[in-house]
Amino acid sequence: MRLATWNVNSVRSRVDRVIAWLDRADVDVLAIQETKCRDDQFPEERFAEAGYEIAHVGLSQWNGVAIASRVGIEDVEITFPGQPGFDKDAGESLLSAPVVEARAIGATCGGVRVWSLYVPNGRALSDPHYAYKLEWLAALRDTGARWLREDPRAQIALVGDWNIAPTDDDVWSPEFFTGKTHVSVPEREAFDAVVEAGFTDVMRPFAPGPGVYTYWDYTQLRFPRKEGMRIDFILASPALAARVTDATVDREERKGKGASDHAPVIAELAD
């Protein structure tokens, strides 16, 4: 089975490109982030024509996550247990806000429990969104750890845009990002806590060292200058990680007119 994740930065704008890539890359399950549409606006017919079932949650022109599968899609779950909400007008009480954003959707596809995740950006170290991001990650860690306690043999994939570069090797310039989000110590500790809960970054063994990125900003010619970040991940439970035979970034999909600012990450799973 081929499992992939891709922040497409608007599925309606890039549906032709996504469908063509699914066929070319021979992907069985794709987790999608930043669909930027409501459920009734998602181009589900195009995916159905290509042989994929869809699970999607989108509330507005922001956020939005989906799973496309050609190996079945069962037990769809919108939001993970304990997922905190965010209300831009809530101030100090934002973590108890009732507004749960469209940032997580889970489904069982070909025997694998796949979660498509769009972790909050954080915006700035002093922004309430940063506190929300850390709370969101802590809740995901706690829930993921519980899943593995309940079933150590569970095959779970936590995949998507994590908006964190876990090490200095994952950014083109650590100095450039000093004092910014995505690289702060609390964010990196939050990512590491998910790993320590039992989930493995499956791509790193196949792509060690610096220079392996999944995101390049549209500005300042970041892509041609190879100034990127690795912030998109497939984190696998122990039983699933044992099945991974290869993992790559399809950097070619960042090229050309109309590309997303992210590239797909793909993992090959043995039967």
Which of 58-62, 76-80, 116-120 comes out lowest in average pLDDT?
Answer: 58-62
Whether pLDDT at 94 is above 70: no
Q: Which of 28, 56, 118, 130 is catalytic?
A: 118
Who has greater pLDDT, 69 or 85? 69
Residue given tokens 């549409």 in the structure block: 37
34 annotated as a binding-site residue: yes
261 annotated as a binding-site residue: yes
Q: Active site includes 262?
A: yes
Give the residue-averaged pLDDT of 92-97. Answer: 51
9 annotated as a binding-site residue: no
Q: Active site includes 40?
A: no
Alpha-carbon distance 146 to 227, whole Å?
37
Other residues' Cβ atoms within 10 Å of the Cβ of residue 87: 16
Contact 69, 3 (CB under 8 A): no
Q: Active site includes 118?
A: yes
Domain covering 2-269 in this structure, CATH number: 3.60.10.10
63 annotated as a binding-site residue: no
pLDDT computed for residue 93 by the predictor: 45
Who has greater pLDDT, 92 or 159? 159
Contact 181, 123 (CB under 8 A): yes
pLDDT computed for residue 224 by the predictor: 96
Q: Domain ranges in the chain?
A: 2-269
Q: Which of 52, 130, 132, 161 is catalytic?
A: 161
Contact 175, 21 (CB under 8 A): no
The CA–CA distances, whole Å, from 48 to 15, 20, 53, 71 equal 12, 13, 6, 13
Whether pLDDT at 151 is above 50: yes
pTM given for the model: 0.96
pLDDT computed for residue 60 by the predictor: 87
Counting residues of the chain whose pLDDT is more than 90, the rounded percentage is 91
Q: What is the DSSP string of 14-70?
A: HHHHHHHHHHHHT-SEEEEE---S-GGGS-HHHHHHTT-EEEEE--SSS--EEEEES
pLDDT digits (tens, 9 = 90+) for 134-145: 999 999 999 999
Nearest to 38 by CA among 15, 6, 10: 10
pLDDT digits (tens, 9 = 90+) for 172-197: 999 999 999 999 999 999 999 999 99
